[in-house]
Amino acid sequence: MRHTLPIAPQFYVTAPQPCPYLEGRSERKLFTALQGEGAQRLNDSLSKQGFRRSQNVLYRPSCADCSACLSARINVADFEPSRSQRKTIRRNETLERRATSPWATEEQYALFRRYLEDRHAAGGMVDMDTFEFAAMIEETPIRTRVVEYTDTETGELVAVCLTDVFDDGVSMVYSFYDPDRAKASLGTYLILDHVAIAREAGLPHVYLGYWVPGSPKMGYKAAFAGLEVYVGGEWQKMRDPADYEATRHPLSNDPIAEQVANISLPDGRPLRPGKR
């Protein structure tokens, strides 16, 4: 009988690029491939350590002189909607949720184009064609759903969220919605409904991606009760957002080898620099 030892995932670092959140800064990502039979367990484990998924890649910021980006999630047990959030739920009471397998449609892509052209016309995704959109939706080696929201009065598709399912929560990978419904606060509503989804499934967390102090694009995430951020290798309850700084210093982050060595694999084993 032959025994095969598990192969540790290989980690890489991207070249510096302009930061999309803080002007005048550069971003760099630590990433690894997400593939094979152990993809779901690896995704679950690394997501609890601040990683995010993009198709078949897991990544987290690893900038040379900045540690502003903080992975954020809502602790469902500690969440209570604010007065304005309750109004948002009422404003969208005609919407019907439908969760499907990760399959791209022309209707989704048309809504996606309208959203990008209105909200992110200068962003890196604005040139995404139908094939690239389909890849974003469909290339997933883990348990993923497309959550669609349709207006029951008009029959129109008004919002979509690509959602991953973890062993301890749901992760909002990417969402887009009708830009003409600004008063409906659809971005906020999608988060509120994902809290409801997590509760219905008995899952304790809703993962929101990164919160960046000092970035107007990310400020909305701090408005949710029960928010936790990943700082110094552990999840902490969000303090007053004003207490956090967009840290920039040559010693902001550990060397890459140390970062990799401190990553825990699904079986609890830490990686060592020699196993990268």
Measured CA to CA, the distance from residue 52 to residue 66 in angstroms comes to: 18
Q: How confident is the prediction along the chain (276 residues), in pLDDT tens digits per residue?
A: 343 435 678 999 999 999 888 888 889 999 999 988 899 999 999 999 999 999 999 999 998 888 889 999 999 999 999 999 999 999 999 999 999 999 999 999 999 999 998 876 566 677 889 999 999 999 999 999 999 999 999 999 999 999 999 999 999 999 999 999 999 999 999 999 999 999 999 999 999 999 998 888 888 899 999 999 999 889 999 998 888 877 666 666 777 888 888 888 887 666 554 333
| Per-residue pLDDT, 196 | 98
Distances (CA, A) of 160 to 6, 122, 216, 234: 37, 21, 23, 31
28 in Cβ contact with 13 (< 8 Å): yes
| Per-residue pLDDT, 1 | 39
In one-letter notation, the amino acid at residue 32 is T
| Per-residue pLDDT, 275 | 36
